[in-house]
Amino acid sequence: MTATTDGAGTAPSRAAATGRSTTALTGPPGSEAAERATARAVEHLLSRQDERGWWKGDLETNVTMDAEDLLLRQFLGIQDERITRATARFIRAQQRPDGTWATFHGGPGELSTTIEAYVALRLAGDAPEDAHMAAASAWVREQGGIAASRVFTRIWLALFGWWRWDDLPEMPPEIMYLPKWLPLNIYDFGCWARQTIVPLTVVGAHRPVRPAPFALDELHTDPRRPNPPRPLASPATWDGFFQRLDKVLRAYRKVSIGPLRRAAMNAASRWIIERQENDGAWGGIQPPAVYSIIALHLLGYDLDHPVLRAGLASLDRFTVWDKTEDGEPVRMVEACQSPVWDTCLATVALADAGLEPDHPALVKAADWMLEEQITRPGDWSVRRPELPSGGWAFEFHNDNYPDIDDTAEVVLALKRVRHPQPRRVEAAVERAMRWTEGMQSRNGAWGAFDVDNTSPFPNRLPFCDFGEVIDPPSADVTAHVVEALAVLGRQHGERARRGIAYLLAEQEENGAWFGRWGVNYLYGTGAVVPALVTAGLPVSHPAIRRAVGWLESVQNDDGGWGEDLRSYRDRDWIGRGASTPSQTAWALLALLAAGERDGEAVRRGIDHLVRTQREDGSWDEPYFTGTGFPWDFSINYHLYRQVFPLTALGRYLHGDPVAAGHLEG
């Protein structure tokens, strides 16, 4: 039994969260056991490096990626029987016993995800009367049917006439003409939302309908009245205001001037094409690529056009092929790929584990990262037009959207490598930090992609119910930047001081920090404590001691740490969940930085990592510990289970390389 089996459950006790009975721990592992585990982990991680220098683990999300891939192929008329069968096998394998699909391992059934998975399986030939399909459709009806699903799901259904376009919120392409100072201009949205919304304005303007191969009456609570009206919120509330704004936009659609609408769609088309990456994708993530392909196709680009041909080819690179136990092919679609992030984290892990700083694997990784540095402007420069570029992106190809988190971590990785061309590294680090410092927001913190991307309005739009659509500063990103500044000796500068002040102000009453890009308070605390200590806060500082107390209070009985994604919605889940390798490592990194190496909590945490390591030097982690949008979009980074435990073991054995003065340069 695990902590997250029951979707309607309550937060478990520490004993229940472990998934094991409470038994006496073995004796202290000592350096010998930890050294053996570290050596095995180093060997395993080195074996996974690509010959070009990078690492990349699978990036697992949820079956909407796979379902929408099949829906896209159906819409464009490019179905492939082998792809359909292999994708359907993966979708079926993710179905829960109650007939639903969740958005993370062990999570509760989710309505929109279940609807999209169900429709994809119907496209693959599964019959509605099949037991697994009947269970899914019955649950969907119990939850309110298609009418209760999110906007994006209903947009996909509208493409085939399974939902009426008139019953979807409006987002007109004329939004392209809103000046940058006006609320709800496209740069008020986070980069991921911006890249998705622009092509969807074109799709919504065209309102295409392809003939549906079957009806979906079984997914409506009342097929005779599938689109019941939704209640209006009070006009005195922001939600009520934006609902009425949507009514205005619907009225505008009926009288919109043809030339203006065509010009707006052409402006959207140019915007989309200008942002296509060299690999054919958009933003290095799957959703904008899918919607951009549909939008351009509706604007007259045929499937053999170089832009669409490259876009469709890029989607194939987002697929992971595997086989079932019976040897049948299985296909999973990644929402994104994370080679830069994985490579810098792997470099840090190997260096902290004791690999020589001029080891060929580390030098090769540094060479690859140096080649990936972005030196041209992107959408971030709309708010910082005079700032020279110099950051890194998350993906193989995403020059338009470098991110601050990756850039800070790449700097920390490069500082651990003794490169044969130190001046080259020094120049790259200086460019990167000049860009990073220039991306600081007004409150002293850093967001992931943009500066001061904090408008309260985009999240209020009826159209935007698919997760976080803005990019406000966060404690975890700010912590990584502060740590990088401190490693470079800039911890006393104004930018670092403001970042430190932000972090101290953001600490929760319980001593933890919120995790925006990882789950959740364990991730935030595991990032902030090492950063503050590296920046010079004594381990006796009250903020550090409160963090240590909180981490000790939420340690599981098996010695590990875990936190369920439900902590984003329910405070009873904060710090509670089945122990995972990555979350155990985050807690250990904080405790080790806080001077607790000889403490009982660290001893038990290291013992847990040693005991749960597999024979090949890896760890198993089915739980999702990464975050795209808190709660709404969760990620299982398959390399997290390797790099973070190795980093924790390395620092347990060798100490913090920053404190020990072992960084290069």
For residue 271, the model assigns a pLDDT of 95
Residue 17 confidence (pLDDT): 45
Shared domain check, 345 and 296: no
**pLDDT tens digit sequence for 362-384:** 999 999 999 999 999 999 999 99
Greater confidence (258 vs 74) lies with 74
Across the range 549-564, mean pLDDT stands at 98
Q: What is the pLDDT at residue 613?
A: 97
C-alpha span between 482 and 498 (Å, rounded): 9
Residue 276, beta-bridge partner list: 282
Residues 6+ apart with CB under 8 A from 638: 57, 58, 59, 60, 621
Q: What is the DSSP letter of 105?
A: T
Half-sphere CA count of 208, side-chain side, radius 13 A: 18
Distance CA 576, CA 2 (A): 11
Q: Which residues are marked as active site?
A: 405
Q: What percent of the chain has pLDDT over 70?
A: 92
Residue 517 lies in a domain: no
Of 506, 522, 515, nearest to 628 by C-alpha is 515
Least confident of 8-22, 429-443, 567-581: 8-22
Give the HSE-up count for residue 646: Cα atoms under 13 Å, Cβ half-sphere: 28
379 in a structural domain = yes
User: What number of H helices and E strands is found in the chain?
Assistant: 23, 5
Are 228 and 292 within one domain?
yes
Tokens of 309: 């041909």
Q: What is the distance between the alpha carbons of residues 373 and 426, in angstroms, rounded to a whole number?
A: 13
What is the distance between the alpha carbons of residues 528 and 534, in angstroms, rounded to a whole number? 10
Question: Looking at the 3D structure of the chain, how many domains does it have?
Answer: 3
Q: Are strands 626-629 and 329-333 parallel, antiparallel or unpaired?
A: unpaired
Q: What is the pLDDT of residue 7?
A: 43
- Confidence band for 3, pLDDT divided at 50, 70 and 90: very low
Q: What is the pLDDT of residue 460?
A: 75
Q: Where are the alpha helices (DSSP H) in 143-190?
A: 151-158
Q: Which range, of 24-28, 270-274, 555-559, averages the lowest pLDDT?
A: 24-28
Same domain, 405 and 543: no
Give SS3 for 633.
Answer: strand
Give the single-character DSSP code of 566. Answer: G
Q: Which one-letter amino acid corresponds to residue 53? A: G
Q: Any idea which residue has 């459709």 for tokens?
A: 137
Report, in this order, helix, strand and coil percent for the chain, each rounded to 5: 50, 5, 45
What's the residue count for the chain? 665
> Which of 343, 336, 320, 334 minimizes the C-alpha distance to 283?
336
User: Does one domain contain both 543 and 649?
Assistant: yes
Q: CA-CA distances (angstroms) from residue 291 to 123, 389, 438?
A: 20, 28, 32
How many Å apart are CA 201 and CA 243, to the nearest integer? 18
Strand-pairing partners, residue 633, are 629
Q: pLDDT for 48-93, tens place per residue?
A: 999 999 999 999 999 999 999 999 999 999 999 999 999 999 999 9
Q: Give the pLDDT confidence score for residue 114 in this predicted structure.
A: 98
Query: Helices (DSSP H) in 620-664: which residue ranges?
Result: 640-654
Q: Starting at the earlier edge strand, list the strands of the sheet with 626-629.
A: 59-60, 633-637, 626-629
Residues 268 and 149 both lie in one domain: yes
**pLDDT in the model for residue 5:** 37
Arithmetic mean of pLDDT, 561-579: 96
In a domain, 105, yes or no: yes
pLDDT band at 659 (very low <50, low <70, confident <90, very high): low
Report how far residue 629's alpha carbon sits from residue 459's, in angstroms, rounded to the nearest whole number: 12
pLDDT tens-place string over residues 85-130: 999 999 999 999 999 999 999 999 999 999 999 999 999 999 999 9
Question: Which of 425, 454, 483 is at the close of a domain?
Answer: 454
Task: Tell me how far CA of residue 431 lies from CA of 97, 123, 382, 491, 596, in angstroms.
Answer: 52, 50, 19, 18, 36
**For residue 557, is pLDDT > 70?**
yes
Task: Give the range among 163-172, 339-348, 541-550 with minimum mean pLDDT.
Answer: 163-172
Say whether both 359 and 320 belong to one domain: no
Residue 318 lies in a domain: yes
Do 43 and 64 belong to one domain?
A: no
End-to-end CA distance of the chain: 49
Residue 23, pLDDT score = 34
- 359 Cβ partners below 8 Å, 6+ apart? 350
CB-CB neighbours of 532 under 10 Å: 30
**What is the pLDDT at residue 257?**
73
Confidence band, pLDDT 50/70/90 cuts, at residue 223: confident
User: Is residue 232 over pLDDT 80?
Assistant: no
pLDDT bin (cut points 50, 70, 90) of residue 459 is confident
Percent of the chain at pLDDT above 90? 80
pLDDT tens profile 168-203: 988 889 999 999 888 889 999 999 889 999 999 999
Q: Backbone phi, then psi, for 622, in 5-degree steps?
A: -75, -20
Q: pLDDT per residue over 596-647, tens digit each?
A: 999 999 999 999 999 999 999 999 999 999 999 898 899 999 999 999 999 9
- Does 234 have pLDDT greater than 80? no
Token pair of 449 as six digits: 């992609």
Question: Are 269 and 295 part of one and the same domain?
Answer: yes
481 lies in a domain?
Answer: no
Burial of 51 (0-12, 13-18, 19+ CB in 10 A): exposed
**398: three-class secondary structure by DSSP:** coil
Give the pLDDT band (50/70/90) at residue 243. Answer: low
Domain that holds residue 253: 60-333
Which of 178-187, 352-361, 586-595, 632-641 shows the lowest mean pLDDT across its residues?
178-187
Q: Give the mean pLDDT of 327-342.
A: 95
Euclidean distance between CA atoms 471 and 383, whole angstroms: 13
This prediction has a pTM of 0.92
Q: What is the pLDDT of residue 159?
A: 97
219 and 347 fall within a common domain: no
Position 471 in a domain: no
Look at residue 462 and tell me if it is in a domain. no
Convert the pLDDT of each residue in 145-169 to its tens digit: 999 999 999 999 999 999 999 889 8
CA angle 590, 448, 381 (to 5 degrees): 145
Average pLDDT, the chain: 91
Residue 11 binned pLDDT confidence (cut-offs 50, 70, 90): low
DSSP category for residue 219: G
Final residue belonging to a domain, choices 310, 333, 356: 333
Q: Is 326 helix (H, G, I), strand (E, B) or coil?
A: coil
- 4 vs 97: which has the higher pLDDT: 97
Q: Is residue 231 part of a domain?
A: yes
Beta bridge partners of 636: 60
> How far does CA 479 lie from the centroid of its chain?
18
Same-domain pairing of 280 and 398: no
Kindly state the average pLDDT of the residues 253-269.
Answer: 85
Question: Residue 72 and residue 69: Cα distance in Å, rounded?
Answer: 5
Which of the listed residues 333, 348, 372 is the one where a domain comes to its end?
Answer: 333
| Residue 219 and residue 114 in one domain | yes
pLDDT at 13 over 70: no
326 shares its domain with 346: no
With a cut of 80, say whether residue 665 has pLDDT above it. no
pLDDT at 29 over 60: no
411 contacts 432 by C-beta, under 8 angstroms: yes
Question: Which residues on neighbouring strands pair with residue 345, listed in sequence order?
Answer: none
Report the largest interatomic distance among the alpha carbons of the chain, rounded to a whole angstrom.
77
> Contact at 8 Å (CB) between 416 and 429?
no
pLDDT of the residue at 246: 64
We report the CATH number of the domain holding residue 25 as: 1.50.10.20
Cα(340)–Cα(372) distance, integer angstroms? 8
Q: How far apart are CA 331 and CA 388, in angstroms?
A: 41
Question: Residue 7 corresponds to which tokens in the numbers above?
Answer: 């979707």
Average pLDDT over residues 506-524: 97
CA distances from residue 99 to 7, 222, 332 in whole angstroms, order as listed: 13, 20, 20
- Categorise residue 155: left if φ over 0, alpha if ψ from -120 to 50, beta otherwise: alpha
CA distances from 66 to 92, 161, 489 (A): 11, 21, 46
